[in-house]
Protein backbone atom coordinates (compact mmCIF):
# COMPACT_ATOMS: atom_id res chain seq x y z
CA UNK A 1 0.00 0.00 0.00
CA UNK A 2 1.22 3.46 -0.89
CA UNK A 3 0.36 6.55 1.18
CA UNK A 4 0.87 10.29 1.09
CA UNK A 5 2.31 11.73 4.32
CA UNK A 6 1.92 15.49 4.80
CA UNK A 7 2.08 18.02 7.62
CA UNK A 8 1.84 21.70 8.40
CA UNK A 9 -0.46 22.79 5.60
CA UNK A 10 -1.46 25.88 7.65
CA UNK A 11 -4.54 26.75 5.60
CA UNK A 12 -2.75 26.35 2.24
CA UNK A 13 -5.42 24.10 0.74
CA UNK A 14 -4.27 24.33 -2.88
CA UNK A 15 -0.77 23.17 -1.95
CA UNK A 16 -2.16 20.29 0.10
CA UNK A 17 -4.44 19.28 -2.78
CA UNK A 18 -1.52 19.43 -5.25
CA UNK A 19 0.53 17.00 -3.13
CA UNK A 20 -2.45 14.67 -2.62
CA UNK A 21 -3.21 14.69 -6.37
CA UNK A 22 0.39 13.80 -7.21
CA UNK A 23 0.37 11.02 -4.61
CA UNK A 24 -2.95 9.66 -5.90
CA UNK A 25 -1.61 9.65 -9.45
CA UNK A 26 1.44 7.70 -8.20
CA UNK A 27 -0.80 5.07 -6.60
CA UNK A 28 -1.40 6.33 -3.05
CA UNK A 29 -4.53 4.98 -1.39
CA UNK A 30 -4.63 7.19 1.72
CA UNK A 31 -3.28 10.40 3.23
CA UNK A 32 -1.75 10.85 6.68
CA UNK A 33 -1.72 14.48 7.85
CA UNK A 34 0.56 15.12 10.85
CA UNK A 35 -1.19 18.26 12.06
CA UNK A 36 -1.51 22.01 11.71
CA UNK A 37 -4.41 21.94 9.25
CA UNK A 38 -5.87 25.14 10.75
CA UNK A 39 -9.32 25.07 9.14
CA UNK A 40 -11.81 22.77 7.45
CA UNK A 41 -11.53 24.70 4.17
CA UNK A 42 -7.90 23.57 3.93
CA UNK A 43 -9.15 20.04 3.21
CA UNK A 44 -11.99 20.65 0.77
CA UNK A 45 -9.99 20.42 -2.46
CA UNK A 46 -7.96 17.45 -1.19
CA UNK A 47 -11.12 15.59 -0.16
CA UNK A 48 -12.43 16.03 -3.69
CA UNK A 49 -9.58 13.83 -4.93
CA UNK A 50 -11.08 10.68 -3.43
CA UNK A 51 -8.40 9.50 -0.99
CA UNK A 52 -9.23 8.84 2.66
CA UNK A 53 -7.47 11.40 4.88
CA UNK A 54 -6.39 10.74 8.47
CA UNK A 55 -5.30 13.81 10.47
CA UNK A 56 -4.20 14.78 13.98
CA UNK A 57 -4.05 18.09 15.83
CA UNK A 58 -1.03 20.30 15.77
CA UNK A 59 -0.07 23.27 17.89
CA UNK A 60 -2.06 25.58 15.57
CA UNK A 61 -5.51 24.13 16.11
CA UNK A 62 -7.65 26.58 14.16
CA UNK A 63 -11.36 25.84 13.96
CA UNK A 64 -11.78 22.47 15.68
CA UNK A 65 -15.57 22.57 15.51
CA UNK A 66 -15.57 22.99 11.73
CA UNK A 67 -12.91 20.29 11.32
CA UNK A 68 -14.86 17.86 13.53
CA UNK A 69 -18.06 18.65 11.63
CA UNK A 70 -16.30 18.02 8.31
CA UNK A 71 -15.08 14.63 9.59
CA UNK A 72 -18.55 13.72 10.84
CA UNK A 73 -20.16 14.62 7.51
CA UNK A 74 -17.47 13.08 5.26
CA UNK A 75 -18.98 9.59 5.00
CA UNK A 76 -15.70 8.10 6.23
CA UNK A 77 -13.44 9.98 3.84
CA UNK A 78 -11.91 12.19 6.57
CA UNK A 79 -10.89 10.95 10.02
CA UNK A 80 -9.83 13.50 12.62
CA UNK A 81 -8.10 11.63 15.43
CA UNK A 82 -7.28 14.34 17.97
CA UNK A 83 -3.79 14.58 19.46
CA UNK A 84 -2.47 11.32 17.99
CA UNK A 85 -3.55 8.29 16.01
CA UNK A 86 -2.86 4.58 15.87
CA UNK A 87 -3.49 3.31 12.35
CA UNK A 88 -2.98 -0.01 10.62
CA UNK A 89 -2.46 -0.02 6.86
CA UNK A 90 -1.31 -3.13 4.99
CA UNK A 91 -0.47 -4.87 8.28
CA UNK A 92 1.84 -1.98 9.25
CA UNK A 93 1.34 -0.40 12.66
CA UNK A 94 1.53 3.38 12.30
CA UNK A 95 1.56 6.05 14.99
CA UNK A 96 0.86 9.68 14.03
CA UNK A 97 1.55 12.80 16.10
CA UNK A 98 2.46 16.38 15.39
CA UNK A 99 5.48 16.66 17.68
CA UNK A 100 8.91 15.20 16.78
CA UNK A 101 9.93 14.57 20.40
CA UNK A 102 6.72 12.63 21.05
CA UNK A 103 7.18 10.76 17.77
CA UNK A 104 10.75 9.79 18.67
CA UNK A 105 9.63 8.55 22.08
CA UNK A 106 6.90 6.41 20.50
CA UNK A 107 9.37 5.05 17.93
CA UNK A 108 11.65 3.97 20.79
CA UNK A 109 8.91 1.68 22.18
CA UNK A 110 9.04 -0.66 19.20
CA UNK A 111 5.25 -0.85 19.21
CA UNK A 112 4.96 0.56 15.68
CA UNK A 113 6.53 -0.07 12.29
CA UNK A 114 6.28 3.60 11.35
CA UNK A 115 5.92 6.82 13.34
CA UNK A 116 4.93 10.01 11.50
CA UNK A 117 5.34 13.51 12.93
CA UNK A 118 5.55 17.12 11.76
CA UNK A 119 5.97 20.53 13.45
CA UNK A 120 9.58 21.31 12.46
CA UNK A 121 8.73 22.09 8.81
CA UNK A 122 11.93 20.18 7.93
CA UNK A 123 11.69 16.77 6.25
CA UNK A 124 13.49 13.90 7.93
CA UNK A 125 13.69 10.15 7.36
CA UNK A 126 15.35 8.06 10.07
CA UNK A 127 15.41 4.59 11.53
CA UNK A 128 15.14 4.92 15.31
CA UNK A 129 16.58 2.19 17.53
CA UNK A 130 13.85 0.78 19.77
CA UNK A 131 13.86 -1.05 23.09
CA UNK A 132 12.93 -4.34 21.42
CA UNK A 133 16.33 -4.45 19.71
CA UNK A 134 15.08 -3.41 16.30
CA UNK A 135 14.41 -0.16 14.52
CA UNK A 136 11.29 1.85 13.78
CA UNK A 137 10.94 4.25 10.88
CA UNK A 138 10.47 7.85 12.05
CA UNK A 139 9.42 10.21 9.27
CA UNK A 140 8.66 13.92 9.16
CA UNK A 141 7.38 15.21 5.80
CA UNK A 142 8.30 18.85 6.48
CA UNK A 143 5.71 21.44 5.52
CA UNK A 144 3.55 20.71 2.49
CA UNK A 145 3.09 24.51 2.32
CA UNK A 146 6.82 25.26 2.53
CA UNK A 147 6.49 27.46 5.58
CA UNK A 148 9.81 28.26 7.21
CA UNK A 149 11.59 25.75 5.02
CA UNK A 150 13.67 25.96 1.88
CA UNK A 151 11.03 23.99 0.00
CA UNK A 152 7.48 22.72 0.33
CA UNK A 153 7.71 18.96 0.89
CA UNK A 154 5.73 15.78 1.57
CA UNK A 155 6.54 12.06 1.69
CA UNK A 156 5.47 9.31 -0.69
CA UNK A 157 5.57 6.03 1.23
CA UNK A 158 5.39 2.44 0.05
CA UNK A 159 4.36 0.45 3.12
CA UNK A 160 4.97 -2.94 1.50
CA UNK A 161 8.62 -2.06 0.87
CA UNK A 162 8.86 0.34 3.84
CA UNK A 163 10.42 2.88 1.50
CA UNK A 164 10.00 6.64 1.83
CA UNK A 165 10.69 9.43 -0.62
CA UNK A 166 10.66 13.13 0.20
CA UNK A 167 8.98 14.96 -2.68
CA UNK A 168 8.54 18.62 -3.50
CA UNK A 169 5.00 19.94 -3.39
CA UNK A 170 3.94 20.63 -6.97
CA UNK A 171 3.70 24.28 -7.97
CA UNK A 172 0.18 25.63 -8.07
Number of structural domains the chain divides into:
1
Q: Are 11 and 165 in contact (CB under 8 A)?
A: no
Q: pLDDT digit string (tens) for 87-119?
A: 999 999 999 999 999 999 999 999 999 999 999
CATH assignment at residue 106: 3.60.21.10
User: What pLDDT, on a 0 to 100 scale, did the predictor assign at position 150?
Assistant: 73
Other beta carbons within 10 Å of 113: 20
Neighbours of 87 (CB within 10 A): 18
At 56 the pLDDT is 97
The predicted structure's pLDDT at residue 149: 66
pTM of the model: 0.97
- Residue 171: what pLDDT? 83
Which regions of the chain are under pLDDT 50?
none
Give 109-166 as a DSSP string.
HT--SEEE--SSSSEEEEEEE-TTSSEEEEEEE--TT-TTSSS-EEEEEETTTTEEEE
Task: Tell me the residue range of the domain where 116 lies.
Answer: 2-168
- pLDDT for residue 148: 80
Amino acid sequence: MKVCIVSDSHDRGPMLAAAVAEARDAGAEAVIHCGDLIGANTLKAALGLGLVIHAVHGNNLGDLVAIARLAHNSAGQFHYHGQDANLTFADRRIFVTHYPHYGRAMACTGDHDLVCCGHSHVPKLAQQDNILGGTTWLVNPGSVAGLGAAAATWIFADLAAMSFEVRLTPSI
